[in-house]
Amino acid sequence: MQYIPNILFILALAGGVGYFIKNIRKVIRNIRLGKDVERSDNKGERFKNMARIALGQSKMVRRPVAGILHIVVYIGFIIINIEVLEIIIDGVFGTHRIFAFLGGLYDFLIGSFEILALLVLIGVIVFWIRRNVIKLKRFWNPEMKGWPKNDGNLILYFEMVLMTLFLVMNATDLQLQALGADHYIKAGSYPISQYISPLFNGMSETSLLIIERTSWWLHILGILVFLNYLYFSKHLHIMLAFPNTYYGDLNPKGELDNLKAVTNEVKMMMDPDADPFATPDGNQEEGEPEKFGASDVMDLNWVQLLNSYTCTECGRCTSECPASQTGKKLSPRKIMMDTRDRLKEVGDNIDKNGSFIEDGKQLLNDYITPEELWACTSCNACVEACPVSISPLSIIIDMRRYLVMEQSAAPSDLNNMMSNIENNGAPWPFNQMDRLNWNNE
């Protein structure tokens, strides 16, 4: 009977970790549905970006209040969960505060964890107030209704409960240490929970044990639930921000990639010795692709799909977007959310059927409308604003390419401009011979 708690703990741990690994494999598989793109160059620069942006959160502090609070919550939550290692060992082997032999170092660690827990609680409460009382505009855009809004609040409640359980667990542990209860040796420093501990004065040892053990179990089970909740939440960025910043585009933000097929055709047109009826030599990648641009998630590259899973839904991109500010339908955040939603839908289709079966849907029109795509000014403000190096613009450009090159569905003004460039060598409807006439006036 004495081993039943240990067995239950091992089963809960194995189930929680196993389910998490299963879902992470789904994420990796879905990301790999994207087309290949070269991102293995300049490893030093990539590691530097990851350390500066993901770990150092350099872009978060451009908005100091939210940035500093986010750093406190993020670092606090991660460091506090170092204690999970002790909880796991204690749960498996039936020990209690196995690292207490570290003495003064252990006291310092537990004391630091408690201070960070309090700071996390304060930060989370401030975030909740910003979302639900102050109602910052970027958290109340149309795409944030329903699940996205609830998801943001749920994660805040999760963190509040986990930090509270941690402090209650320590406060009752302190009481049990004072009573000299079995296994509850005097260990640790409790700068915060020592002020909570008096709430439990006068309780029997049995009552204290029930509260301490309940808090202990709920804390570790809550962490396992939180871990698996990430798959269904925007907070998957806690892990994906690191690879996303590493594989980010290192080219200047105003530089767009060129389609190889178009580049080869232009080079052929400019070569006076080239046979105009010849086709480009080489493989499919160097010749004409199966499809120009993107109409669905499988047409995007894997970095763009990684971007969609990494989106924090913070709305900084949309709040900086000039098209959005002037009332246009475009929201860069919605572009990323729609891409992720469609990718999950495709993944569910594969899970159900073994391979993807056409479902009559695609990213274009069913999720993202041409009106949204053509509202974009291509200014890169969204890319510059994103705290984790996501590029909504790259998806917009690829979908525009599909509209233009596959469906000839560009707006009339753009079609006129392209016709003028083709016929007159300039965007204006003037004969090439007349282009420099204004110089003589």
Flag whether 235 is in a domain.
yes
- Cα–Cα distance measured from residue 256 to residue 392, given in angstroms and rounded to the nearest whole number: 13
Q: Which of 190, 212, 246 is the last residue of a domain?
A: 246
Please report, for the domain that includes residue 387, its CATH number.
1.10.1060
Flag whether 52 is in a domain.
no
Q: What are phi and psi of 421, to 5 degrees?
A: -65, -40
What tens digit of pLDDT does each residue of 354-384 get? Answer: 999 999 999 999 999 999 999 999 999 999 9
Query: Six-digit token pair at 368?
Result: 């993202």
Flag whether 408 is in a domain.
yes
Name which of 165, 163, 96 is nearest 125 in CA terms.
163
Flag whether 38 is in a domain.
no
Q: Is the pLDDT of residue 282 over 50?
A: no
Flag whether 177 is in a domain.
yes
- Cα–Cα distance measured from residue 405 to residue 84, given in angstroms and rounded to the nearest whole number: 54
Flag whether 45 is in a domain.
no
DSSP 184-244: --S----TTGGGTGGGGTT--HHHHHHHHHHHHHHHHHHHHHHHHHGGGSGGGHHHHHHHH
238 and 264 together in one domain: no
Chain Cα centroid distance, residue 293: 24
For position 277, what pLDDT does the model report?
A: 66
Query: Six-digit token pair at 47?
Result: 């590691």
Q: Is residue 432 very low, low, confident or very high in pLDDT (cuts 50, 70, 90)? A: confident
Q: Which of 246, 275, 304 is the last residue of a domain?
A: 246
234 and 284 together in one domain: no
Domain that holds residue 218: 4-31+63-246
* Cα-based angle 379, 384, 389 (whole degrees, multiple of 5): 125
278 and 216 together in one domain: no
Percent of the chain whose predicted confidence (pLDDT) is above 90: 71
Q: Which of 182, 213, 246 is the last residue of a domain?
A: 246
For position 285, what pLDDT does the model report?
A: 47
- Cα–Cα distance measured from residue 98 to residue 120, given in angstroms and rounded to the nearest whole number: 25
111 and 204 together in one domain: yes
Q: Is the pLDDT of residue 1 over 70?
A: no
Flag whether 322 is in a domain.
yes
9 and 144 together in one domain: yes
What tens digit of pLDDT does each residue of 4-14 get? Answer: 888 999 999 99
Q: Contact, 106 vs 100, CB < 8 A? A: yes
264 and 218 together in one domain: no
Neighbour-count burial for 382-419, b at 16+ CB within 10 Å, e otherwise = bbebbbbbbbbbbbbbbbbbbbbbeeeebeeeeeebee
Rg (CA), the chain: 28
239 and 284 together in one domain: no
181 and 302 together in one domain: no
What tens digit of pLDDT does each residue of 306-322 get? Answer: 999 999 999 999 999 99
11 and 142 together in one domain: yes
Q: Is residue 408 very low, low, confident or very high in pLDDT (cuts 50, 70, 90)? A: confident
What tens digit of pLDDT does each residue of 179-214 get? Answer: 988 889 899 999 999 999 999 999 999 999 999 999
Over the chain, what is the mean pLDDT?
90
What tens digit of pLDDT does each residue of 270-280 get? Answer: 777 776 666 65
- Cα–Cα distance measured from residue 187 to residue 195, given in angstroms and rounded to the nearest whole number: 17
143 and 289 together in one domain: no
Looking at the structure of the chain, the number of domains it has is: 2
The pTM for the full model equals: 0.88
Flag whether 39 is in a domain.
no
For position 416, what pLDDT does the model report?
A: 87
- DSSP assignment letter at 437: G
Q: Contact, 312 vs 63, CB < 8 A? A: no
Neighbour-count burial for 321-354, b at 16+ CB within 10 Å, e otherwise = bebbeeebebbbbbbbbbbbbbbbebbebeeeee
